[in-house]
Structure 1
């Protein structure tokens, strides 16, 4: 395990652009309806941000990749809905997820512009609210006035915990800044367990205890 982790860190160090591309795609795909509900983008961003303190990745580029991906992802979803209008909410593959679409629509109608801001921090609704906002006729200027500040807060909120956790271990637990070795997999396992637990709790709380699943013929 130690050798595999060391090899992974060495690979990222030598091919940092792939890590930044992965961060970008993770943030972008989280905003794609349906796809964003299953892509563990937040987990990927948090995991890769843990490589910042060791110098394998640069904080400013990690943040930029996450911000750019989220902006393009949310913007693309919004404009898709804006151009197609409400009809897109009744087309495939959204028709396979009527409950989530209905929840997103109700969430947007209740909170208005605030729904765009809040949804950025609530998986998996954030994969549906931008397209819903566009489909329901939200003005582009108003959308970006809320979406951009939300993303500028969302990115540090996902990146900095990993950076701070590793930095704290460097400082207080005596971990070296390079060659994290056998300690790194322990942190990975603990961090992954916490993330999965929080994600499951959030999904159950927001969606009545069930995961997002396609509608069956009986439920239609």
Structure 2
């Protein structure tokens, strides 16, 4: 059995449901690879041998993002900031003091725009819904930013990946392998640089949080 035959045996409805579920759970606050799942589905949609619609991929991702963020908002509004303290103890790599402090800093500066642009940033994509609820952001403002961000992120990502998939063979035929390797290395390098800067900022905020906790404990 070939890879193509395996892919052709997957019902399109199953793809839409899985995409919506993964992105919904990620938006709710569970650290799942929503972006990877969306890109993979968009790539599958670009193959004419498969009956997967890019429109439905984008729609499923958008619905999952909006619903997941809204549920996360409700949970954050009910349990408040104490929720992040408990999650930070169990999942320090995703909900540590530095992660929450950085997200709060962005929310304080940008307000509802942090929800919109947070859809494009892995850290905020997980924290945006629960944190907006915990910080008592007005739901109407949250919903507007959440829905518009989800549409732009899901629809834009699907469209870009889909059309890149269609043009991939022609693109590779026009450019040398050297140019392709350079482009890949450059993209990986930029991604690693952004991750390192985010990691350093989180570590700095975690140190500030530890110092503040020590100062309150010692009565300084």
Give the TM-score category using the shorter length: 0.7 to 0.9
Quote the offset at 1:104 in angstroms.
Answer: 1.0
Q: For the structure 1 residues 134 and 16, does the alpha-carbon distance in structure 2 shift closer, same or farther, using more than 3 Å as the test?
A: same
Decide whether aligned partners of structure 1 residues 100 and 209 sit closer, same or farther in structure 2, where only a CA change above 3 A counts: closer
Change in CA separation of 1:101 and 1:11 when aligned onto 2, cut-off 3 Å? same
Task: Give the number of equivalent residue pairs.
Answer: 194
For residues 159 and 166 of structure 1, what CA distance do their matches in structure 2 show? 10
Change (3 A) 1:115 1:164: same
| Contact residue 26 and residue 41 of structure 1 kept, 8 A | yes
CA distance in 1, matches of 2:4, 2:186: 23
- 1:6 partnered with 2:4: yes
- Summarize the alignment of residues 115-126 of structure 1 with structure 2, pairs less than 5 Å apart: 115-126=114-125
Give structure 2 stretches of 5+ with no counterpart: 174-183, 204-209, 214-220
> Residue 27 of structure 2 aligns to a residue in which SS?
coil
CA RMSD, 1 decimal: 3.3
Structure having the higher helix fraction is 2
Per the normalisation by structure 1, the TM-score is 0.74
Alignment match, 1:24: 20
Q: How far off is 1:167 after superposition? A: 1.4
TM-score between the two structures when normalised by the length of structure 2: 0.74
Match of 1:70 among 65, 68, 75: 65
Question: Following the alignment from structure 1 to structure 2, what is the Cα–Cα distance between the partners of residues 146 and 28?
Answer: 16
Instruction: Mark the structure with the bigger radius of gyration.
Output: 2
Is the aligned partner of 1:202 residue 2:194? yes
Distance 1:143 1:209, change over 3 A: closer
TM-superposed CA distance for 1:207, in Å, is: 2.6
Which residues of structure 1 form unaligned runs of 5+? 175-191, 212-217
